[in-house]
Chains A and B, each alone.
Chain A
Amino acid sequence: MRKLIDAPANQQTGDVIGKSQPHESAIRQVTGQARYVDDYVVPMGTYHAAVGLATDTRATLKGLDLEAVRQSPGVIDVITIDDIPGQRDIAPVFDGDPILVDGEIRFHGQPLFAVLADTHRHAQQAATKARVVSEPLPPCLSVSQAHEQQRFVRPLHRMERGDWQAGLESSQHIASAHLSIGGQEHMYLEGQVALAIPDEEDRLLIHTSSQHPSEVQKLVAEVLDVPLNKVVVDMRRMGGGFGGKETQAAQWACLAAVLARRNGRAVKLRLPRAQDMQATGKRHPFENGYTVGFDAQGLIQACHVDISGNCGISADLSDAIVDRAMFHADNGYYLGDCLVEGHRCQTNQVSHTAFRGFGGPQGMIMAEAMMDRIARTVQQDPLSVRKRNLYDADARSETHYGMPVGKPLLADLIEKLEHSSDYWQRREAITAFNQGSPVIKRGLALTPVKFGISFTAKHLNQAGALVHVYTDGSVQVNHGGTEMGQGLHTKIAQIAANELGIGTDGIEVTATRTDKVPNTSPTAASSGTDINGKAVQNACQQIRQRLAEFYAASVNGDADTVVFSQGRVQCNGKSTTFQDLVQQAYIGRVSLSASGFYKTPKIHYDRDTGKGRPFFYFAYGAACSEVQLDVLTGEYKVTRVDILHDVGNSINPAIDRGQIEGGFIQGMGWLTTEELRWNADGKLDSNNPATYKIPAIGDTPAIFNVDLYPRANDEDSIYHSKAVGEPPFMLAISVWCAIKDAIASTADYRHDPDLNTPATPEQVLWALKSLEEPS
């Protein structure tokens, strides 16, 4: 018989769900011990790779002279597309993303070749020495050019309800506007990195900073032309992802894998920051327009929202991203008879990709743009118009894609925030202040968020887990989600602890590994806890059931009455510790390991009709933001923010608040200071943190009140919580509206200014100037 080790002292436990447990890596993160891929101790003889980037925006590649690269000090190997043994296209969904330039250079910064050297520095030096012979072709650099040239990465999609044209014609008022919406650089502080370690024969282990280990596994296998079972991908944590490591991490892992295979050595590929910013996709810039018809009270009768995403060179995830923009063009409002159209424009830019919100923000801002315009037209406070147009429980309760909204929570949520933020008193005070202040103007706005939760690609709404209980009572949890700072592993540990009735100190959540849980979905769409939490719960419940049956039999009790709590197990008046039961169960030959599975119920969407229920539920929130703006310089400051946000039953309030605060700040950056600048030739000029400004500590609002809306999710989500990763990002639209409110004050709130985003001081000055001219 195997000797069992002594169980450790009783593990602390209690009610772990709903408690603000610290991030599972907090100690490691503040002592410098938390390891990211670049921190791993690498195998002896590890080589380093670098990539050479194209400096044409669009050109035919006539010649690529790599002799000087090969002769550069320390160089071991150089590869181009022709050296890829298997599949050359690493596109995630639709074709169009060659791993290296394949005949035509299609965007500035596209990787041309990869070089391997003995050191990182030698590889970087060598990568600059290629001679490229190319014949320029005319690039397409904007959405308008793409429309002129009819260049699209995917077909147009429409969502339509009723006779919207007749609705517009019969409306009392009509307003139209165009809005240019900037993209956004992810600027994860840990850049793209991969470490490929060759194993026996054609097996390979990959460490990557990726939100989608299963896709990295698949693409590495395809590029190497080996079955998926030869490749293991391991991902412990990312130093930020935000969507920028959903598809964009695979290329570097694939290149490292090819070089590792060719040379029989471990290979690390880490991008320098400027290359990272040039060669990886960003949040899609959008060019959107609306025409809205409304009555004298400001109630929408009909509208047409025309959405054009700048997808860059390939489809990547753009179909789903533009869809999500379309799904959110209503935000929380009933659009009446309407047409929402979404164009997927192709340009010669890096292929734009997932970023927190996934197109949702670029759609949702159109609804808020309409609200402001309607309010100024009918001369009412924008908040009154917003409240009037909210979905209700009667005739105005279904979205433009046919999904019932369910209980209209926003009215209540807004009302609570209206009071807690003193909206109306501050509105009066601000109006009075502005009348007496010619240079400094204050602006105020309260805007809601309604965000659909689920992947709109239905098959991705599944998750797996693998839970092991060891004979000392300690538990190892593996699941398909990845930890990028959002606290997923912390919440997962709480869920496992709760299901097994032990403390989180008895739970170890391991690195995400494709050999533990296969065929996983990306950690994206805010779904990490929802789907992986349910899968972990499912696995834990299987083990708990086995233990309960075993224990009940030993005490002549009923398995259904066994209680697991506080590290103890009770039944029929008897009790024992979890550890003792586990040891007895092992001796009794009970399996202490289980795999769990979950698929999200109820969801469906028909692309042919543009109707369905693509989301399991909606997450809600609202923010009230105040700004102070200098009309002479266009500079402004966000002085106060009040947020009320719906996370259902919070599994971990501290983590949820962190997501809300951080999401808001990131959204504020997108709408205010973060300006992507491509020059006339299509080169990204804003390619480092000196030329691309994300929010810093001084940009944080001095008054920043965040509260959770205390209401359980109506749907059967994990403990009736709600997803929190993305929805708070869009709370920052209140800042954009508050800036417009301050600008509008200069013309006595009679006009709603056009204000493109990001609303840099230059844009603010243009908007101020537009109100000076007689209209």
Chain B
Amino acid sequence: MISFTLNGKKQQVDADPAMPLLWALRDLLGLTGTKFGCGIAQCGACTVHLDGQAVRSCALPVSAISGKAITTIEGLNSDLGEALKAAWKAHNVPQCGYCQAGQLMNASAMLANNPNPSDAQIDANMQGNICRCGTYPRIKAALHDVIAQQPAEG
């Protein structure tokens, strides 16, 4: 039995310790917002937060989350998370939508760590989340909107 915090609540899961977190989330806990894309941590569709850092849940064994905090798209309810979701809608970012949970999770971790990234930092941080619909210009525009809304840091 592995105990951890999931979207702010205590959670236990009875799983093979080697099971990828993605499968525990989707198949055992019924949280299907996090997507399977490639299974080898190369596409970013499965991105979730582990203690606030963006990780690829398809390649992370559940044994690695014991005692830690996991946030998925279903729990992305911080002010920053809500601002990102609103900007994503306002800029018409999603097309097929399949990668967007991963995009949002990665973007929110990036902005939580660095509220004012440069374009080069955005590119470097978001480079691993691929979108086949090519929504990148919209993602950038939405990010710039959210960055502009952030309270200035001293």
Interface residues of A (CB under 8 A from B): 20, 22-23, 25-36, 38-39, 186-191, 237-242, 270, 272-273, 484-487, 654-655, 658-659, 661-666, 688-690, 694-700, 702, 704
Contacts and interface: CB of A to CB of B under 8 A. Distances in A.
Contact of A697 (B89, B90, B136): B136
A697 B133 contact: no
Given A30-B94, A485-B97, A697-B127, A38 B36 contact: yes
A239 B92 contact: no
Given A186-B132, A273-B37, 8 more contacts: A26-B89, A30-B85, A189-B98, A189-B131, A273-B40, A665-B136, A697-B131, A698-B127
A661 B133 CA distance: 9
A696 B128 contact: yes
B15 to A, nearest CB: 12
Contacts of A487: 95
Nearest to A490: B92
A240 B134 contact: no
B13 interface: no
Contacts of B129: 696-697
B98 A664 contact: no
B135 interface: yes
Nearest to B87: A30
B18 to A, nearest CB: 11
A666 B37 CA distance: 18
A59 to B, nearest CB: 29
Contacts of A237: 96-97
A689 B90 CA distance: 30
Contacts of B38: 273, 688-689
B99 interface: yes
Most chain B beta-carbon neighbours within 10 Å: one of A25, A30, A238: A30
Contacts of A272: 39
Given A189-B45, A240-B133, A700-B136, A26 B92 contact: yes
B32 A32 contact: yes
Given A189-B99, A486-B95, A695-B134, A27 B89 contact: yes
Interface string B89-112: 110111111111100100000000
B33 to A, nearest CB: 2
A654 B92 contact: yes
B119 interface: yes
- A interface majority secondary structure: loop
30 contacts: A23-B92, A23-B95, A27-B89, A29-B94, A30-B73, A30-B88, A30-B97, A32-B74, A39-B26, A186-B132, A187-B130, A189-B99, A190-B37, A239-B99, A240-B98, A485-B133, A658-B133, A661-B135, A662-B133, A662-B134, A662-B135, A689-B37, A689-B38, A689-B43, A696-B128, A696-B136, A697-B129, A697-B131, A697-B136, A698-B123
Contacts of B126: 696-698
Contacts of A26: 88-89, 92, 94
A112 B26 CA distance: 29
Please name the 7 residue pairs, one residue from A and one from B, whose CB atoms are nearest each other, closest first: A32-B33, A485-B96, A239-B98, A29-B97, A665-B134, A662-B134, A485-B95
Contacts of B94: 23, 25-26, 29-30, 485
B31 to A, nearest CB: 8
B42 A661 contact: no
A698 B136 CA distance: 9
A620 B137 CA distance: 22
Interface string B111-143: 000000001001110111111111111111000
A277 B134 CA distance: 20
B57 interface: no
A753 to B, nearest CB: 27
Nearest to B92: A654
Given A273-B40, A688-B38, A690-B42, A22 B130 contact: no
Contacts of A655: 92
A485 B132 CA distance: 10
Interface string B7-51: 000000000000000000010000111111111101101000000
A373 to B, nearest CB: 30
Contacts of B35: 36, 189-190, 239
A240 B37 CA distance: 11
A22 B39 contact: no
A22 B92 contact: yes
Given A661-B134, A662-B135, A188 B128 contact: no
Interface in B46-73: 72-73
Nearest to B101: A32
Most chain A beta-carbon neighbours within 10 Å: one of B96, B97, B126: B96
Contacts of B124: 698
Contact of A240 (B34, B96, B123, B137): B96
A237 B35 CA distance: 14
A422 B135 CA distance: 26
Contact of A688 (B26, B40, B96): B40
Contacts of B36: 38, 191, 270
Given A190-B35, A240-B98, A485-B95, A32 B72 contact: yes
B132 A187 contact: yes
Contact of A690 (B32, B40, B132): B40
Most chain A beta-carbon neighbours within 10 Å: one of B45, B134, B139: B134
Most chain B beta-carbon neighbours within 10 Å: one of A25, A659, A688, A696: A696
Nearest to B125: A697
Contacts of B130: 187, 189, 689, 694-696
A574 B129 CA distance: 56
B92 A658 contact: yes
Given A32-B73, A39-B32, A239-B98, A658 B88 contact: no
Contacts of B122: 697
Contacts of B99: 189, 239
A32 B34 contact: yes
A272 B96 CA distance: 20
Contacts of A688: 38, 40, 42
A697 B96 contact: no
A238 B43 contact: no
A240 B40 contact: no
Contact of B132 (A20, A23, A38, A666): A666
Contacts of A658: 92, 95, 133, 135, 138
Most chain A beta-carbon neighbours within 10 Å: one of B42, B97, B137: B97
Contacts of B37: 189-191, 273, 689
Nearest to A119: B27
Given A26-B92, A30-B94, A700 B34 contact: no
Most chain A beta-carbon neighbours within 10 Å: one of B26, B45, B135: B135
Given A189-B43, A695-B134, A697-B122, A20 B98 contact: no
A738 to B, nearest CB: 18
B37 to A, nearest CB: 5
B146 to A, nearest CB: 13
Nearest to B104: A30
Nearest to A690: B42
Nearest to B73: A32
B139 A25 contact: no
Nearest to B41: A690
A661 to B, nearest CB: 5
A240 B85 CA distance: 21
Contacts of B88: 26, 30
A662 B95 contact: yes
A698 B124 CA distance: 7
Nearest to A272: B39
Contacts of B119: 702
Contacts of A485: 94-98, 133
